[in-house]
Every structure is written in C-alpha cells, then in structure tokens.
Amino acid sequence: IDLNNIGVFGHSLGGRIAGEFTARCKKVKALVTMEGIPPRDVRYEGKIKIPSLMLCSSGTLKYALENYNSFIDNRKGIVYMVELSGFGHNSLTDNPFLYPKNFKYEIEPKKALEISRVLLTAFFTEFLLDKAGVFEASSDLDLVKISKYE
C-alpha cells in the first residue's frame, strides 16, 4: 500500500466528505465524487489541486449544475465531468441491483455498475498508476458523456 498515493471516492454525502478529506490530506492524488459535490468553501476557494472525476446522472445534473460549475470554474487541477444518461441517483451503488423493485431507473442496474466500475478503474489507473490516456480511452462507453477541464 502506497500511503502517499491515495485515491478516494464517495457517493452523495460520501462524495462531499471525500472532497473535504481531499482538500485536507495532501497524500490524496485522485478524487472521484459520485452524485456528490465537495463543500462550498472547498469548491469556491479551489482547495482541491489534484485530478478529479465527477460522475452525475442526467436527472440530477439539471438540479446541481450550478454547484458542479462552481467546482469546475475554481479548479486548480484537471477535472472530468461525466454525465450519465438514464442513470438515477443510486445507479452508482449496488442498491438497485440488490433491491430492483425499489428503483425504477432507465438503465439496468447491472449495466450501471459495469459502467461505473470501468470509469473508476480507468481514472484511478491513469492518475494513481501513471498510465496516461487510460481514462479518456473509456469515453466511448454507451450512455457516458465526458467533459474535460484543464
């Protein structure tokens, strides 16, 4: 385990907490938020200076766009914004797979998990294992729109 080369991720409130942790811990080298946004001060003061990936369902994005843009506009490192078409807030978790009757998203739960795993694995492979181009190669996935901000 390389404790000086850490990747963190979180979903929803976990994404907010991951953002706060990343702003405070210099050992973190890559951040992924899934349907979550770092706290206001972290976003507006540009406290995150490492590669970041934000995953957001198309349904959530229209309500959270201003918050996502505040992170992008004040970035100090590369930011990838990924819009996931047909996903719902919990599609990036295993809940829809485990409890399919409780969730009615357009995307099948298994497909959503496959896509999210590909994106997370590629992002962390590129930015923690220094394998350039791995993440952007995953951009041809169905239902995925990736925007890059440098």
Q: What is the DSSP string of 58-69?
A: HHHHHHHHHHHH
Q: What confidence category does residue 138 fall into, taking pLDDT thresholds of 50, 70 and 90?
A: confident
In a domain, 69, yes or no: yes
Split into its structural domains, the chain has a count of 1
In a domain, 124, yes or no: yes
Please state, rounded to an integer, the average pLDDT across all residues of the chain: 96
Say how far apart CA 100 and CA 48 lie, in whole Å. 36
User: Could you tell me the two tokens for 135?
Assistant: 């993440």
Say how far apart CA 104 and CA 92 lie, in whole Å. 14
CA angle 83, 87, 90 (to 5 degrees): 115
pLDDT over 90 (residue 140): no
| Average pLDDT for 62-90 | 97
In a domain, 122, yes or no: yes
Residue 81: predicted pLDDT: 98
pLDDT over 90 (residue 47): yes
| Average pLDDT for 132-149 | 92
Q: Which CATH number is 120's domain given?
A: 3.40.50.1820
Cα–Cα distance list, 13 to 1, 35, 58, 101 (Å): 26, 8, 18, 24
In the chain, pLDDT over 70 holds for what percent of residues? 100
pLDDT over 90 (residue 31): yes
Domain that holds residue 74: 6-144
| Average pLDDT for 84-103 | 96
In a domain, 1, yes or no: no
Residue 103: predicted pLDDT: 96
| Average pLDDT for 48-58 | 98
Note whether 55 and 84 are within 8 A (CB).
yes
In a domain, 50, yes or no: yes
Note whether 26 and 49 are within 8 A (CB).
no
In a domain, 135, yes or no: yes
In a domain, 61, yes or no: yes
In a domain, 42, yes or no: yes
